[in-house]
Amino acid sequence: MKKIKNLLVLLTSIFVFSIPFIQTYALTSNSNKGLNGLTAKERIANTESNKGTESAIKAKENLRKKLEGLKLKACQNKANAIKIRSRNIVGHAIKQIEVFDKIASRTSEFYNDKIIPQGKTLENYDELIGEINAKKDAIKPLIEAAKTDVEEFNCESEGPANKINQFKEDIKAIIEAMQAYKKSVKNLIVAVRTLAGDIDLKTTVTVTPATENTQE
């Protein structure tokens, strides 16, 4: 009986002394999990995963910027080509206007100096001259619009493709206006030549307007 009693006392002592160790282990285990309930090992794994995700996002962003840079460079090259072409076409159109002016002027001089003194007149002469002036005046704002549009072209502005299409429309409008102007001058020449009959009329329209291809 005494031995059993001593054994119970021993077991009780062991249990009492074990409680602090159990509590310490529990606290240590909980502290390792941290505030978010993850262990240190789990937190390290998550950190590495986040780094991998960030690297992938950064690589994707760098690729996007590189592609945008290439597109911007290509657009800038196209813009420079457009500006050069525009200046050439506009310059050519201005020279054509000067040539047509001289042709119309010589035709009018011939009519007034050679035909009218013979008692011959064109009933629609004033109308023909008015048509020439109207067609000529219609070209000037088109040229100015083309100059403005091409000089304001910027690859970093909104909708550069629309700007390029606008440039094409500007050039197309100039070409069509030049053709209409040429036709009005030709109409005057034909009318004066028909009225003149055998009188020598050397003035001819041999110059054609700009026909620059605007297709990309």
pLDDT digits (tens, 9 = 90+) for 90-106: 888 899 999 999 999 99
Contact call for residues 188 and 105 (beta carbons, < 8 A): no
How high is the pLDDT of residue 141?
94
How high is the pLDDT of residue 197?
81
**Helix, strand, coil share of the chain (percent; to 5):** 80, 0, 20
Q: Quote the pTM value.
A: 0.59
Q: What are phi and psi of 138, to 5 degrees?
A: -70, -20
- Confidence category of residue 200, pLDDT binned at 50, 70, 90: low
Q: Please tell me which residue, 103 or 162, carries the higher pLDDT value.
A: 103
Whole-number percent of the chain with pLDDT over 90 = 32
| Tokens 């040229």, residue located | 143
How high is the pLDDT of residue 86?
81
- Confidence category of residue 214, pLDDT binned at 50, 70, 90: very low
**Mean pLDDT, to the nearest integer, of 103-126?**
92
- Can you tell me whether residue 202 is helix, strand or coil? coil
How high is the pLDDT of residue 191?
94
Q: How many whole angstroms from its chain centre is CA 41? A: 53
